[in-house]
Amino acid sequence: MTEEKKPSEPVNVVAENEDEIDLLELARTIWKGKKLIIWIAVIVTLATAAYSLTITNIYTAQAVLKPVSSKDGGGRISSLASQFGGLASLAGIAMPGAASSAELVSLLKSNVLKKTMIEKYNLLPILFPKQWDEEKKAWKKTSGGFSLNPLALISKIKPAQPNTPKKDPGVPDTWDGIRALDEYVSTNYNLKEDIITITVNFRNPDMAARIANYFIASLNDHMSSEAKRVAVTNREYLEKQLQETKDPIVQQKIYNLIADKIETTMMAEVKEGFAFKVLDPPMAPDQKSKPKRAQMVFVAFIVSLFFAVFVVFFREYVKKIKAKFAGGHHAE
């Protein structure tokens, strides 16, 4: 039995020697190609560093909003909703209530709010500064020459639709501004804490904070004007019903509902933060948020090292294949 086990021991020794030889061979290959590895790592790292310097700095401004709950809106509205909600629903009148978080988030993401904001604050020259001539206060006119852009060629060949509005080449319109705001601005809702965060990433720190403030002001104006419009419409309907009703009890309830509409109108006109509270107003950031140049350079250095080692191994493999074929031809 012992004689049968002895032949297996040299096999393990040979296998271990082969592993050691393979590791030494790998180390020799890397050392032989060290110059190539260094050159590749240096070139890629320096190219990444140079490219990172060409990227425009981006600054982030944030605003945190919290919807006004029903208990924050006043006890009178809540009590009226409980007392006369049935009468109002029969009459087809919506009782005043706090704006939901989903409604506020939908409005912040809506094209209607962005369109109003772009037109009110004249944001197109700010969103497209390269196409705006600040001295002449006008858009730069393009020559309209030949373009290699396939989309531009197709648009020239294909006739425009009759209902499509004409657009001056090189001059952005409201839809371009809306798409630009979609790239710069994001809105997130935290369901657990019931807060809404508006995040603006822009190349100018002061303008990033101003755009966030524009969103807050436009949202507040929209909610206030919509509340006033609904309240006025319902008030006119209630006054008409009051003239047609003879029951003194119903008349008293209608009087209370009319008073509620008047209070809602006054709150929308006077109260700041009618539908939401600003927990954290936007401030101009003092540091850029991106690009992270040091991180880009470090990642490029690590990746270039792995790539350079792969190139060295591949080059050594090709040499061995060529040598093998050359040896075979000589043997023949």
User: Higher-confidence residue: 143 or 109?
Assistant: 109
Q: For residue 213, what pLDDT band results from cuts at 50, 70 and 90? A: very high
Q: For residue 241, what pLDDT band results from cuts at 50, 70 and 90? A: low
**pLDDT of res. 216:** 93
Among 97-101, 183-187, 193-197, whose mean pLDDT is lowest? Answer: 97-101
Average pLDDT over residues 50-67: 94
Domain topology for 59-139+167-280? Bacterial polysaccharide co-polymerase-like (3.30.1890)
Sign of CA dihedral 49, 52, 54, 60: negative
Give the domain ranges of the chain: 34-55+292-332, 59-139+167-280
**pLDDT of res. 310:** 93
Average pLDDT along the chain: 77
User: Higher-confidence residue: 218 or 69?
Assistant: 218
Six token digits for residue 189 = 């809702």
Average pLDDT over residues 188-216: 94
Q: What is the pTM of this model?
A: 0.69
Strands 185-190 and 195-202 come out as antiparallel
- Which residue is listed with tokens 């988030």? 105
Q: Single out the residue of 278, 152, 144, 285 nearest to residue 217, CA to CA.
A: 278
For residue 245, give the H/E element and its range. none
**pLDDT of res. 97:** 47
> What is the three-class DSSP state of 183?
helix
Strands 132-133 and 138-139 come out as antiparallel
Please classify residue 198 by burial: count the beta carbons closer than 10 Å to its beta carbon, then call 0-12 exposed, 13-18 middle and 19+ buried. Answer: buried
The DSSP result for 280-308, as a single string, is E-----SS--B--HHHHHHHHHHHHHHHH
261, pLDDT greater than 70: no
77 phi, psi to nearest 5 deg: -65, -40
Q: For residue 146, what pLDDT band results from cuts at 50, 70 and 90? A: low
What would the pLDDT profile of 106-142 be if each residue is shown by its tens digit? 999 999 999 999 999 999 999 999 999 888 888 887 6
**pLDDT of res. 160:** 54
| Residue 300 near residue 29 (C-beta atoms within 8 A) | no
**pLDDT of res. 30:** 87
327, pLDDT greater than 60: yes
Average pLDDT over residues 138-154: 63
Give the sheet arrangement for strand 185-190, strand by strand. Answer: 185-190, 195-202, 59-67, 276-280
Q: For residue 93, what pLDDT band results from cuts at 50, 70 and 90? A: very low
Among 6-20, 136-150, 212-226, whose mean pLDDT is lowest? Answer: 6-20
Q: For residue 215, what pLDDT band results from cuts at 50, 70 and 90? A: very high
**pLDDT of res. 328:** 60
Among 22-26, 212-216, 244-248, 317-321, whose mean pLDDT is lowest? Answer: 244-248
**pLDDT of res. 76:** 43
User: Higher-confidence residue: 250 or 296?
Assistant: 296
**Separation CA 140–CA 138 (nearest Å):** 6
**pLDDT of res. 224:** 80
Q: Which residues of the chain form beta strands (DSSP E)?
A: 59-67, 132-133, 138-139, 185-190, 195-202, 276-280
What would the pLDDT profile of 262-321 be if each residue is shown by its tens digit? 665 655 555 566 678 899 999 999 999 999 999 999 999 999 999 999 999 998 888 888
Q: For residue 79, what pLDDT band results from cuts at 50, 70 and 90? A: very low
**pLDDT of res. 83:** 42
